[in-house]
Structure 1
Amino acid sequence: MGSEITRVNIKKGLLFCPLISILLLTACNKHQQDSNSENKPRPLVQSNEGEIIIEGSLAFYWNQLLEPADFQVEKEPAVSAWFDFPGTWNYLEIGGKKLPGRGCATYRTWFWIDSVMPMAIKTDDYCNAVKIWINGELVAQGGEPGSAKEFHKA
């Protein structure tokens, strides 16, 4: 499976990527630093020859597959930890316990893009299932994330 590109029309203003639901069924080899922080995520958005690269701290919701409606309530779900993206959660600790390589989680971030041009999302070859939502709209999906192995389809 190669890189996937999904075209998305994004209006000038706030690009709100409320969540990326990912189910990892195997441990990946990238090193992930523990980033338990009380600060809101501040993803670093860099332009490199027309590309926008997202790196930095994302809100991480362990063992929860959330959708945009879950954030349209008076009390939003509590953030489990702040996650350094890109990376894997294999080295992340929550409540003093290291996370296993298998499980499910939701990642959430938001950032501004000052453009009215159509844009695309390029994702790497993942060892999991993923849903990518932007401004409440499902714009990309690979497999079907599930909260248990029997519900997951990569």
Structure 2
Amino acid sequence: MDEARQAILSNLQLDTAVRAIFLFSPEGYLVSKAGYTEELDTEAIGALVSGEFAAAESLARLIGNQLTFTSNYHEGPEYSMYVHGVKGKGMLVMIFGTDSNLGIVRYYTGKTVDTLESMLSTGILPPPDAFADPVSFEQHMNESINTLFDSAFNEEDYE
């Protein structure tokens, strides 16, 4: 099943010409990836996207939505990120530069999410118990996030 999942992400990368694609579990564990991912901090991206989706779920309820938001988009000066949920079983993350077209990214991501969702019963995404102990994962992610914030907001800059 890893090969089928990898082929799906590789085809998506070819269709959209994005820099990197990640498929994460709802908890932020990396399930699969495609594109140029070597210099990206996969653990931090997974943890932050997972937290963001959890926050979006709460926001959706606060404004009266019965269902959660299905996608998030963040536009940056050099790279942007489009994240789409996969039926509560995962998150598909697309990182792309200014040379990519958001409409194309959204269109092909939607088609890919439909394909992944239709394959859920075949085990395209591992079950949650296939990952490490959630308590140690949470502790590890909290430490990683704290390190990220410490480096982003160096206390010496504010003295």
Q: Which has the higher helix share?
A: 2
Per the TM superposition, whether the score is higher than 0.5 is no
Which bracket does the TM-score occupy, shorter chain normalised? under 0.3
Q: TM-score scaled by structure 2? A: 0.23
- State which structure, 1 or 2, has the greater radius of gyration over its C-alpha atoms: 2
Pick 1 or 2: higher relative contact order, CA cutoff 8 A, min separation 6: 1
Q: TM-score scaled by structure 1? A: 0.24
